[in-house]
Amino acid sequence: MKYSAKQVLKAAVSSMIIVGSAVQVFAEERPTVPPGVNLQQGEQDRNQPSVAEQYLFRLAKKSKGRRMVRGGVYAVAGAALLANAISMLGQEDDWIIQYGGFLAVVTSGIPLAGSLFSFGFQGRAERTCKQIQAIADRTQRERACEDALSRLAKKGRKGRMVWGGLLTFLTASMTASFQGGPPIDFILPASLGAGALYLFLVKSPAERTNRAYLEKRALKPSPTLVFGLAPHGGFRLGLSMQY
């Protein structure tokens, strides 16, 4: 059975509508309450979240933005592959193209599943921020935000090192097996090596956010207990503030 261009276009549009509907279902979330906002607190506490809360909320917001963009790219790619697969299935006079169409249908499911996963599941920073928002006590919430920023930064660095090491291993393996073939064969290992170098050199968003928070926190006044000998005998005890 042959498919006209109009039918292929309708199928592509239908698939996009289906993906879009699924996106709306999975991506629907309750409005995010900025950290530090609690309807049971006073107006001053509600409008002045701590520095750690602000940075964690910013990280979670950026994580959500990247997740939405990634899900949209996957959805468009999957819909395009599905439309191309339907077009290939319409070539009844060439069984090889039809077989490729079946493979393309299966392949299109990978990015479509990736889009649903990206839209439906929150990132680690988003989940952590949502959990900390439930803490009523501001001091405990601020301490939890500090710990979360540090923990997310460590996990981000660990992930970079693991993936960078894996890409480095693949690059070395492919380069060792390269035996003077055409230059195009060297493109893949070179690309993997560039990816490994990027992972080793460029810090993750969580690492950059935690570093920015630590630099910001260092500017806050820090009390120091001073203990020593007095000029005319005895001991001296005091509290100093460094600005």
| Interval 106-145: pLDDT, tens | 888 888 888 899 898 889 999 999 999 888 888 899 999 9
pLDDT value, residue 203: 93
**How many residues are present in the chain?**
243
pLDDT of the residue at 243: 43
204 has which bridge partners?
none
Report angle CA 33, 34, 39 to the nearest 5 degrees. Answer: 60
User: Beta strands 222-229 and 235-242: pairing type?
Assistant: antiparallel
pLDDT at 72: 92
Q: CA 125 to CA 130: how far, in whole Å? A: 9
Model pLDDT, residue 69: 93
Please tell me the predicted confidence (pLDDT) of residue 92: 67
Please tell me the predicted confidence (pLDDT) of residue 211: 94
pLDDT of 132 reads 92
Q: Which residues of the chain have pLDDT under 50?
A: 1-6, 8-10, 12-13, 16-44, 47, 221, 242-243
Which residue is associated with the tokens 């059975």? 1
Q: Which of 60, 66, 86, 68 minimizes the C-alpha distance to 26? A: 68
Give the torsion through C-alpha atoms of 61, 66, 68, 74, to 10 deg: -170
- pLDDT at residue 49 in the model: 76
